[in-house]
Amino acid sequence: MNKYRILVVDDEESLCEILKFNFEKEGYEVTTALSAEEALALDLANYDLMILDIMMGELSGFGLARILRKRTETAETPIIFCSALDSEADKIKGLDIGADDYISKPFSLAEVMARVRSVLRRSKRISGGAAVVENLVVEELEGSDDGIQRFESLVVNNLDKSCSIDGEEIQLTRKEFDILVLLLSSRGTILSREQIMKRVWSEEVVVLDRTIDVNITRLRKKLGIYGNHIITRTGYGYGFKI
């Protein structure tokens, strides 16, 4: 089994070396970059996880994350922001961009290690042959013996984790896909944010209510006309109406 590959991008060289040393002790392969520009010169498709500082040189960590999310080869690569910016607005911005977690500096190494393990457990990417452990528990798709659920021309395949509309594949993130599976398998039922959080994020260390709202908003947009079937019941939660 090959090792997970982690990229640490931070303009503090000493911090990069500390993280590299401790991650390698845990069995990870680690590359460090002292700027977003230096990171972009690497073959980024080879990494299973990226840890990004935010305040760096001309291109910030936010800017780097936006670039990564637009590239096909890194659109699904897990990202953890690790920054001294610790306001709720900063955390929400990072999650809005598509980060999987946000760690405020100063931090403990034990916390960083735990969050990295948590994010990697839930990653469906396979980079460099690293094995992926999927612990997310999703109920059987109702009325679907083959693992495929359909609603009109919307097709969700829980076997190969794909989603399509009129035969055209829709690119969803892991969380967006899991939310859609959950809502479809519970169609007609309103699920609270807490229920969605427990089922989709499971043992994640930190998940804000806003994180769920952001993922729902992105999912609706990607589903086009079918996004209108994802309804909000103020004070209760979300559901998929027929």
Contact indicator for 135, 123 with CB cutoff of 8 Å: no
Tens digits of per-residue pLDDT, 165-179?
998 999 998 889 999
Identify the CATH number of the domain in which residue 33 sits: 3.40.50.2300
Stretch 121-148: mean pLDDT, rounded?
Answer: 45
Alpha helices in 122-234 (DSSP H): 174-185, 193-196, 209-223
- Is residue 87 in some structural domain? yes
Of 102, 121, 140, which one is at a domain's C-terminal end?
Answer: 121
- Tokens 């169609």 -> residue: 187
The number of domains in the chain is 2
Reported confidence tier of residue 133, pLDDT bands at 50, 70, 90: very low
Quote the pLDDT of residue 208.
65
* Share above pLDDT 70 across residues of the chain, in percent, rounded to a whole number: 86
233-238's contacts with Cβ under 8 Å and 24+ in sequence apart are 233/190, 236/190, 236/192, 237/190, 237/191, 237/192, 237/193, 237/195, 237/196, 238/183, 238/190, 238/191, 238/193, 238/196, 238/212
Q: Based on the domain organization, do 116 and 158 belong to the same domain?
A: no
Q: What is the CA radius of gyration of the chain?
A: 18
* Share above pLDDT 90 across residues of the chain, in percent, rounded to a whole number: 46
Quote the domain boundaries for residue 34: 5-121
SS3 assignment, position 153:
coil
- Tokens 């043992």 -> residue: 203
- Tokens 């589903």 -> residue: 223
The region of weakest confidence among 3-17, 131-145, 147-161, 163-177 is 131-145
Quote the pLDDT of residue 146.
55
Nearest-angstrom CA–CA distance, 242 and 226:
10
